Amino acid sequence: MAALSLFFAASIAQAAPSPQNASPGAESDASPATQSRYGGAKEDATSSASAEDSGYGEDADEREITVHVDPVHDYRDASAVDRRTMQTRLPRSAPDALRYEPGVFVQQSGHGQASPYVRGLTGQQTLIAFDGIRLNNATFRQGPNQYFFTVDSRTIAHLEVVRGSASTRWGSDALGGALLTTPLEPNLGRPAPRRSGNGNGGEHAAAEGRRPTGWVVHPRLAMTARTADGEAGARAQVDLGWGGKIGLLTGVGYRVVGPLRTGGPVLSPATGEPWREPRFDSDQRTQLGTGFRELSADTRLVWQFNPRMRLTAAYYDYRQKDAPRTDKCPPAEAPESECLRYLDQFRTLTYLAFDSERGPAPMERARVSVSYQRQHERTQLLRDNGIPEIDGGTESNGRDRVHTLGLRATASTASWSVGDSGVSTVGVDYGADLYFDQLESLAWLRFTDVDPVITDVLSRGQYVDGSRYLSSGAWVEPYVWAGPRVRVRAGGRAALVHADSPGDEDSGTRVIERTWGAVVGNAGLMVLATEWLSWHLDFDQGFRAPNLDDLTSRQQTGPGFQYENADLEPERSLSLDTGFRVRHERVEASLFAWHAFIRQLIGRAPREIDDCPDDGVVNPTGCGASRTRFQLVNLDGWALLRGVDASVRVFLPLGLAVRTTASWTWGEGPNPVPPPEAGTTSNYRARLPLSRIPPLNGSVELMWNHRTGVWLGSALRWATAQTRLALADESDTRIPLGGTPGYAVWDLRAGYRFDPNVLVSAVFENVLDAAYRYHGSSVNGATRSLNLNLELGF
Amino acid sequence: MATRTLLIAPFAAAVLALSATACITDDDPVDDDVGDEGGEGGTPCDPAADAVDESACAPLDSDFQSADPDNDPYPACISDSGSYELYADPPGSIDRVVALQDIADLLWNAGAAPRPDDFVMARSIYEIDQGLGSRVDRREDLHYPPVPEAEWDPGVDADKQCSVEALAEAYPDRCAGPAKLRPMINQAFIDGIEGNGDANVAAAKIEAAFMWFVYLSTYKEANTCIPKGKDCDSSWAYYTGGAQIGGEMLGLAKLVEAYSPNTHQRIFDGILAVRCWRDLYSVDDYPTYEDLPEDGQALYDQAWEQLDEALHRGLAVVIRQHALAQDDDQCSEATEANWTFVQITGDVLVREMEERGVAELDEYRSLLALDAPTTEDVEALVGILDTVFDCP
């Protein structure tokens, strides 16, 4: 029994940052007196989850089967999803894996795209990191984007959401929060655990205490199928290791996803009528403009050249092909053959990272990484000529590439005792980072129905070709354990951001040469009221310098045509949080209330035709012809966001666990339209709701896990209607007239795990066949359907 | 140390190798040169300058009259000044009509036959995202009955059934944009770019199709102004290009104003009539036709009909002036193109003539079908148009 418990406990711990897979910069400041799990996520997660330590016997085993991994940032509002949980939920993508996290709401502009809202913000206002490397680049746009979808969920060991501004550690963009992804690690030649562990490359922690042998190979094949969209996919993976020194984890995945069948159109809250935008097929179920293909490949080579140091070379390639943008495929009212597709949505990340631990006191733990990331997007709007005898028509093409070089260094000092008692300690986390983006952007028309085919290159693309962007900073964050129960942190970052763009005379695009400096800080207090209850009070500042999308891009967005503003200033935020966290053997819970202030929020201000940038015959942009036009502006005054995030997990006897989450967000900002002249009658409002603020939403999950490896579960996701709309929302056809209706979606889950040989998991999704849409999405939710996952390996 | 260096080297090499494999090698697009040789077909025709006699015409008692708003049957309203007052911000349709005029300057107003690269430039303008082409592709002719409900595609909203290509094919009169205008315009662009046949003929097809589109759009937007007030603005914009009476007209209005200022004023009054109605019956209170009180419905019907009648006459005037140009000496090089314009736009009025039970309809059709009309043929055609569409 004890051995089994150890396996369970270890498998849970594997996704937490062990010395081998620690997220760089993660804190290592466990209170010396308590060795509590708070603030000491690494080793403590293993020990605290041990059945032997807990003294709960068999119940503890059952608890540990279902326990969640503590977030690394457990000193503030954060939560995490591990691989084991993903294997029971079967998310379609990395963003989808966050659907059950409090404070996160996942919007989808396309079937192959998804963007998590964290505390009401998304896209360029949240930070995405993979293995500590920043994925945000200078083309992350206003509103939702598709880029987190390009992280292959099958390569993720651990996914953490830090809620609230986090710019001290993560720099520009981290206003709403940070999404921190930890990849699977190779085994380094340790034997695979039996019967437990997630069995997918993360076993090394489970086998931490096992004696490494010579060459060890763990192949694994995972296959997935879903009936709602005919998805069929597989990932083949080999984990090759030697003597605890060398590990190579390499995998390749592919999937084909067909048109998505949904529960049908949702009803407009204003009219009660079905909302058929984006468009459905004649069965009223199949959403047009869905389906895609995906190829992913990754290789992670680790050399643990001594117990304290390791070198990692990693390569992650994601290639998505033929993903339509659902609301433009076809656009409302256009012939059904018209379609905007992302022909290519590629992301390649490769890096070299050096980790050390147990080093000299000023740098007890450290990580340095050098990275190169390449983002490649190729779009094509296809309009058929309507002539039956002549194939082809007009292609409007775009191609944008961002090359990003990154350098990041983080370190943590040892914890020094203060005073004679040894109860109080102090330590410092610190680091610096630098990312440099180089942009290529082109747009051209092709007339494919003429012989020979004619290409007409436009003077500029969505961005300005040759633009560059540098984002850099250095930060320090000391912390103090003032006794065994009080932890205080405070820190700051000095940031420097530079943007330059050569401009484009033909299209009236200005030359840009801008530099911004910023200093942000944070402070936090955590009080351990009891061994299982903590109270938190946090102040975190965020900032976001305007990026190349803000400064140079011209594009059709959901609400209308959006064009650049070269005079934008950085957004700055302050989030204030307070809440409680419970970590009891029987209950895990968190309740956080937060309030965020954003100054100079960049928003969309309506513009008239005459305001359009010069779009004469030389380089027409479509600004004037669009129904609505917007320019990005710094809103004058404060935007306010506030909300509550809560989650409770109760461990019941007999292997049962119930978890429920709820999130409420409210957002309001200055009206981007100036007030009317005095004396005129008007229904003008000085302040308006912010765009696409998620409605009140939450989830309930009931899981039963048996020690044989069988599990059963039930899950309910719900949201109320969102009828508070921003100006831009009202002209966005993705949002039904009057807002997005509420929903409740019920799933059933079942599975069997016999690690590392077999994993079978199934989700019977949307049992009641509800028609639903996440607010702001183009894509409705899947119809009643079956999702299956089978993994085989040894 | 040297051993470690040796071990690190493969890591670095691996990273470099993997980076190299990430490269994507599609070539940058380059502009294609289709040639700037003069197009075939000679100098395009100018429409005839013959005066249009409308001295006998007078507004109906039921018409809105901007010149005398106190004596028309409409209560005092926003249109009484004679200027069009925008319901909302200037509509994007202004830009589409500006694009039409830009294309006109390239293809039929340049004083010479257009060259292939003129067609390329023109088509690039036509294909702007959300531009002229996007609206041509979706334009319905509201003079015809809608697609029968029994045949609707249930996955598509009622007012978007013409976007279903099978339905557009089955109901080409109603779905005039996707079924008739789109292929006609694109075929003309293809011919112009490839240099097939007379460049002026290709340009004339495009011009005629655009006039047809503007005629349909002005009428259609005045109808969709019932649920969406800002569509009244689009109706005005499609006709005028965003100008007030006396201002610089674009597109169809530019032609009508040149040939018949009276008809032009009457079309403008029709647009003002619909705007007046919208002012009197707010969209907030009456978002659908059914929500309107009886007098509101009657006033809307009256205004829309006034606009429709005036538009018929406006299009008829444009056709007659082009027809009369067949005999002009200046037009000797491009009569085929000129007659093509007459044939396409002339055919648009057949439905109205059928509705009115015009006795000369068969003769009208026969005349339009001629390849090379004589002076007598032209005079007969103009005579029919002047008889049937005598006043705006």
Residue whose pair of structure tokens reads 């990003």 in the numeric block: A404
| B328 touches A: beta carbon within 8 Å | no
Chain A segment 323-362 residues within 8 A of B by beta carbon are 330-338, 344, 346, 348, 350-352
Q: Please report which confidence band the pLDDT of residue B46 belongs to, taking 50, 70 and 90 as the band edges.
A: confident
| B129 touches A: beta carbon within 8 Å | yes
For A21, phi then psi, to 5°, come to -115, 20
Cβ partners under 8 Å of residue A421, min gap 6: none
Cβ–Cβ pairs < 8 A, chains A and B: 192
| B102 touches A: beta carbon within 8 Å | yes
Subunit contact A350:B99, Cβ cutoff 8 A: no
The DSSP bridge pattern shows strands A416-418 and A339-356 to be unpaired
Who wins on pLDDT, B272 or A626? B272
| A108 touches B: beta carbon within 8 Å | no
The DSSP bridge pattern shows strands A246-257 and A260-261 to be unpaired
Flag whether pLDDT at A432 surpasses 90: yes
The Cα–Cα gap between A693 and A665 comes to: 7
Helix (H, G, I), strand (E, B) or coil at A137: coil
Check residue B36 and give its pLDDT. 66
For B327, phi then psi, to 5°, come to -95, -5
Subunit contact A451:B194, Cβ cutoff 8 A: yes
The Cα–Cα gap between B308 and B323 comes to: 22
Nearest CA in chain A to B126: A620
**Could you tell me the CA-to-CA distances from A254 to A230, A237, A257, A341 in Å, in that order?**
14, 12, 10, 19
Helix (H, G, I), strand (E, B) or coil at B329: helix
Contact A622, B124 (CB under 8 A): no
The dihedral through the CA atoms of A18, A24, A26, A32 has a sign that is: positive
Mean pLDDT of B301-327: 95
Chain A segment 360-379 residues within 8 A of B by beta carbon are 372, 374, 376, 378
The DSSP bridge pattern shows strands A561-563 and A629-634 to be parallel
Q: What is the pLDDT of residues B210-234, one digit of tens each?
A: 999 999 999 999 999 999 999 999 9
Subunit contact A625:B96, Cβ cutoff 8 A: yes
The Cα–Cα gap between A470 and A435 comes to: 6
Subunit contact A447:B34, Cβ cutoff 8 A: no
Q: CB neighbours (10 Å) of residue A733?
A: 17
Q: Which of B45-49, B296-300, B307-311, B365-369 has the lowest mean pLDDT?
A: B45-49
Who wins on pLDDT, A766 or A672? A766
Check residue A70 and give its pLDDT. 67
* CA neighbor of A371 nearest in space, from B10, B20, B14, B15: B15
* CA neighbor of A328 nearest in space, from A562, A627, A558: A558
| B282 touches A: beta carbon within 8 Å | no
In a 13 Å sphere around the CA of B91, the CA atoms on its Cβ side amount to 26
In a domain, B164, yes or no: no
Subunit contact A333:B132, Cβ cutoff 8 A: no
| A610 touches B: beta carbon within 8 Å | yes
* CA neighbor of A763 nearest in space, from A86, A153, A90: A90
Q: What is the pLDDT of residues B328-358, one digit of tens each?
A: 877 777 899 999 999 999 999 999 999 999 9
How large a percentage of chain B has pLDDT more than 70? 92
Mean pLDDT of A472-494: 95
Flag whether pLDDT at A61 surpasses 70: no
Subunit contact A315:B18, Cβ cutoff 8 A: yes
User: Domains of chain A by range and CATH?
Assistant: 2-793 (2.40.170.20)
Subunit contact A281:B99, Cβ cutoff 8 A: no
- The amino acid occupying position A765 is E
Q: Is A284 exposed, middle or buried (0-12, 13-18, 19+ CB in 10 A)?
A: middle
* CA neighbor of A219 nearest in space, from A197, A200, A242: A200
The Cα–Cα gap between B386 and B362 comes to: 16
Q: Please report which confidence band the pLDDT of residue A142 belongs to, taking 50, 70 and 90 as the band edges.
A: confident
* CA neighbor of B241 nearest in space, from B43, B75, B102: B102
How many domains does one find in chain B?
Answer: 1
* CA neighbor of B346 nearest in space, from B212, B220, B234: B212
Flag whether pLDDT at A23 surpasses 70: no
Residue whose pair of structure tokens reads 């996707």 in the numeric block: B178
The Cα–Cα gap between B100 and A561 comes to: 20
How large a percentage of chain A has pLDDT more than 70? 87
The dihedral through the CA atoms of A113, A117, A121, A127 has a sign that is: negative
Flag whether pLDDT at A676 surpasses 60: yes
Helix (H, G, I), strand (E, B) or coil at B361: helix
| A2 touches B: beta carbon within 8 Å | no
Flag whether pLDDT at B129 surpasses 70: yes
Q: Please tell me which of the candidates B4, B29, B94 has its beta carbon nearest to residue A455.
A: B29
**Could you tell me the CA-to-CA distances from A321 to A153, A298, A379 in Å, in that order?**
17, 18, 10
What is the DSSP secondary structure assignment for residue B108, as one 8-state letter? T
Subunit contact A442:B29, Cβ cutoff 8 A: yes
Contacts of B19 in chain A (CB under 8 A): 315, 348, 350, 372
Check residue A56 and give its pLDDT. 32
In a domain, B106, yes or no: yes
The Cα–Cα gap between A761 and A764 comes to: 10
Check residue A213 and give its pLDDT. 66
Q: Is A576 exposed, middle or buried (0-12, 13-18, 19+ CB in 10 A)?
A: middle
Q: Please tell me which of the candidates B96, B121, B155 has its beta carbon nearest to residue A281.
A: B155
Q: Which of A632-636, B22-26, B75-79, B155-159 has the lowest mean pLDDT?
A: B22-26
Flag whether pLDDT at A33 surpasses 50: no
Flag whether pLDDT at A299 surpasses 60: yes
Residue whose pair of structure tokens reads 């989030």 in the numeric block: A575
Contact A390, A449 (CB under 8 A): yes
Check residue A681 and give its pLDDT. 60
Q: What is the pLDDT of residues A164-193, one digit of tens each?
A: 999 999 999 999 999 999 999 998 877 655
Contacts of B96 in chain A (CB under 8 A): 625
Subunit contact B99:A620, Cβ cutoff 8 A: yes
Taking each helix axis from N to C terminus, what angle separates B93-107 and B230-240, rounded to the nearest 10 degrees? 10
The Cα–Cα gap between B59 and B73 comes to: 12
Contacts of B7 in chain A (CB under 8 A): 303, 305
**Could you tell me the CA-to-CA distances from A518 to A424, A503, A572, A575, A770 in Å, in that order?**
33, 25, 9, 17, 47
Q: What is the pLDDT of residues A377-417, one digit of tens each?
A: 999 999 999 999 999 999 999 999 999 999 999 999 999 98
Subunit contact B156:A280, Cβ cutoff 8 A: yes
**Does residue A539 come out as left (phi exceeding 0), alpha (psi in the -120 to 50 range) or beta?**
beta
What is the DSSP secondary structure assignment for residue A293, as one 8-state letter? E
Check residue A21 and give its pLDDT. 37
Check residue A60 and give its pLDDT. 39
Domain range enclosing B237: 38-140+175-388
The Cα–Cα gap between B216 and B210 comes to: 10
Contact B137, A335 (CB under 8 A): yes
Check residue B178 and give its pLDDT. 96
Contacts of B125 in chain A (CB under 8 A): 617, 620
Cβ partners under 8 Å of residue A176, min gap 6: A117, A118, A119, A120, A121, A122, A125, A126, A163, A164, A165, A542, A596
Q: Which of A435-439, A613-617, B254-258, B383-387 has the lowest mean pLDDT?
A: A613-617
In a domain, B10, yes or no: no
Q: What is the pLDDT of residues A533-563, one digit of tens each?
A: 999 999 999 999 999 999 999 988 878 899 9
The Cα–Cα gap between A547 and A437 comes to: 10
Check residue A207 and give its pLDDT. 45
Tokens of A747: 């799933």
Q: Please tell me which of the candidates B19, B24, B32 has its beta carbon nearest to residue A372.
A: B19
Check residue A423 and give its pLDDT. 75
Contact A593, A624 (CB under 8 A): no
Chain B segment 147-166 residues within 8 A of A by beta carbon are 153-157, 160, 163-165
The Cα–Cα gap between B244 and A22 comes to: 69
Chain B segment 175-214 residues within 8 A of A by beta carbon are 178-179, 182-183, 186-187, 189-190, 193-194
* CA neighbor of A624 nearest in space, from B89, B181, B221, B211: B89
Subunit contact B190:A352, Cβ cutoff 8 A: no
Subunit contact A385:B186, Cβ cutoff 8 A: yes
Q: CB neighbours (10 Å) of residue B35?
A: 12
Query: DSSP string of A42-77?
Result: HHHHHHHT-HHHHT-HHHHHHHHHHPPPPPTTTTSS
Flag whether pLDDT at A212 surpasses 90: no
In a domain, B156, yes or no: no
Q: Please tell me which of the candidates B129, B160, B194 has its beta carbon nearest to residue A396.
A: B129
Contacts of A372 in chain B (CB under 8 A): 19
Nearest CA in chain B to A378: B26
CA distance, residue A424 to nearest chain B CA (Å): 40
> Residue B254 CA to chain centroid, in angstroms?
13
| B89 touches A: beta carbon within 8 Å | yes
Q: What is the pLDDT of residues A497-524, one digit of tens each?
A: 999 999 998 888 999 999 999 999 999 9
Strands laid side by side in the A629-634 sheet: A555-556, A561-563, A629-634, A602-607
Check residue A728 and give its pLDDT. 82
| A622 touches B: beta carbon within 8 Å | yes
Nearest CA in chain B to A274: B157
Beta-ladder partners of A78: A162
Contacts of A296 in chain B (CB under 8 A): none
Subunit contact A313:B134, Cβ cutoff 8 A: no
Check residue A171 and give its pLDDT. 94
Mean pLDDT of A648-660: 95
Cβ partners under 8 Å of residue A321, min gap 6: A292, A293, A294, A295, A343, A344, A345
